[in-house]
Chains A and B, each alone.
Chain A
Amino acid sequence: MLNFPIYLDNHATTPMDPRVLDVMLPYFKESFGNAASRNHSFGWVAEEAVEKARKQLAGLIGATSKEIVFTSGATESNNLALKGVAEMYAQKGNHIITAATEHKAVLDTCKRLEKHGSRVTYLPVQTNGLVDLDMLRDAITDKTILVSIMYGNNEIGVVQSIAEIGSICRERGVLFHTDGVQAVGKIPVNVNTDNIDLMSFTAHKMYGPKGVGALYVRRKNPRVQLTAQMDGGGHERGMRSGTLNVPGIAGFGKAAELCQQLLPEEMLAHGALRDRLKEKLMAELDETYINGTMDSRLPHNLNISFAYVEGESLLMGINDIAVSSGSACTSATLEPSYVLKALGAGDDLAHSSIRFGIGRFTTQEEVDYTAGKVIEVVRKLRELSPLYEMVKEGIDLSKVQWAAH
């Protein structure tokens, strides 16, 4: 039986796994201690929970416990990584390389750093969404201190060639940070084989709670140092002051453990559901385009543009399904998705895009219902679309003199 609304927006956040909540509850109640309290059992119990979680997180990404710094979420982790490195390595250089399709938490941090004297290169991506590695090599100078390229993209799901990027950085003696928010727990991520020096990730994208994230900071070969961005009690080896969110951290740990256990089967299952959705949509609807390559992609991501249909109006028609769109109308800035624009496909396809994100609790029945509903509403909206009519009449829309407004 279907339960409405159907949740297919698992890139925005994931529902909490009930097993995670169970682990968290005692730390809200009887085990309420401060993990920094060294002289009584309340503190010891809390500290034990934090250290267990640290191990669970480290286990998921192939790190050691001491390399995990807890934060409030991946936005903070990205800020700490970029600002912390820029400040710590200011003597060595001031150049940072990132990509146009990064999350705003990286891009806006870079913009801030530019105001304080950093020089930032924003690499364009290819039409498939991937960074050109030769372009990256050419961008590195003797002033480059950091490369920050995300693992899996939050909109189009493309997975960058992280191990190769990491190895290029290592050869050139440049630190490599990756925003691993969408990838960790979803595909195999290993900081050693992937040559990663710093990595941001967060609990709520992997069936854990909101408000807790982590930054992986490599301790040897090379040993990465950061200038703390928050002053206080010197928690987290001095890198991030602030009383630890013990229930959140305990939940994060459990979430990581579950992801590690379930990852192989979930990759296959989510990929199969995603492909089923894609095939149904593409079999029934013409002029439908996948954004970003299918060859290197998160298994649970589908980002698709239904030409001549505007995204927000499509969302309105499928309002019993929670998904998101790259359309301007659905964004706070009233600009279409900059990620889709960076692919060079044209703003019109960005306006027509829908992102589907399969999750742990998605069923095949939900996918089938979604496919049917989307097909029905796209057809209805194309009947309403002057663009679809013009194209069917043989008019080349690119040759029309539009009155832009």
Chain B
Amino acid sequence: MAYSEKVLDHYNHPRNVGSLDKKDPSVGTGLVGAPECGDVMKLQIKVNPDTGIIEDARFKTFGCGSAIASSSLATEMLKGKTVDEALQIKNTEIVNELSLPPVKIHCSVLAEDAIKAAITDYKAKMEVPSVSPLQTA
């Protein structure tokens, strides 16, 4: 299968690889996928609590080249956006930007899921800690 130039570029030069301190209250962590399915993405955002702006984003991905490229691109798209703006990111933007073929669309879906999971984690951390998770469950 031939890869698009942009997938190759992200694969060869992945942006924002790494990990943020997941215990930091301003960091949201999303971990999606499963090893037996062949792809797992960990995507983290660091949010400025005063402005709501995502100041840093990091990823690590186990998966095919398109999965790596999708998550690498996602971190680029996240930086500088507010949390609410980030929630608007759609997988189709990733598909278009990377020219993903139909069999690789699930990689972009996983990246969107990872963004949403990271934001959900961040928001949960921002909630008053006295609220028992059982009440919200």
Residues in chain A within 8 A of chain B (CB atoms): 308-310, 312-313, 316-317, 327-329, 334, 336, 346-348, 351, 383-389, 397, 402-405
Contact = CB atoms under 8 A, between A and B. Distances in A.
A405 B63 contact: no
A136 to B, nearest CB: 30
A388 B62 CA distance: 9
Contacts of A336: 38
Contacts of A334: 103
Contact of B19 (A328, A389, A397, A405): A389
Contacts of B106: 405
Q: What 4 A-B pairs have minimum CB-CB distances, sorted nearest first? A: A402-B34, A386-B42, A347-B36, A348-B35
Contacts of B75: none
A385 B62 contact: yes
Of B17, B61, B64, B110, most buried by chain A (CB within 10 Å of CB) is B64
13 contacts: A310-B38, A310-B39, A313-B68, A316-B11, A316-B65, A386-B31, A386-B40, A387-B35, A388-B62, A402-B40, A403-B32, A405-B34, A405-B106
B33 A310 contact: no
Given A310-B64, A384-B68, A386-B61, A404 B11 contact: no
Contacts of B40: 386-387, 402
**On chain B, which size bracket covers the interface?**
20 to 34
Nearest to B65: A316
Interface of B: 3, 11, 14, 17, 19, 31-42, 60-65, 67-68, 103, 106, 110, 113
A269 B79 CA distance: 54
A384 B35 contact: no
Contacts of B64: 310, 312-313, 316, 327, 329
A404 to B, nearest CB: 5
A104 to B, nearest CB: 20
Contacts of A384: 14, 17, 60-62, 68
Contact of B62 (A316, A317, A387, A405): A387
Given A308-B62, A405-B33, 10 more contacts: A310-B64, A336-B38, A347-B36, A347-B37, A351-B35, A384-B61, A385-B62, A386-B40, A386-B62, A403-B32
A213 B38 CA distance: 36
Given A327-B64, A386-B62, A405-B110, A316 B35 contact: no
B35 A397 contact: yes
B38 A383 contact: no
Contacts of B34: 402-405
A389 B103 CA distance: 28
Contact of A348 (B32, B36, B61, B103): B36
A368 B86 CA distance: 46
Contacts of B33: 402-403, 405
Contacts of A328: 37-38
A313 B65 contact: yes
A187 to B, nearest CB: 33
Given A402-B40, A404-B36, A383 B17 contact: yes
Nearest to A329: B64
B55 to A, nearest CB: 21
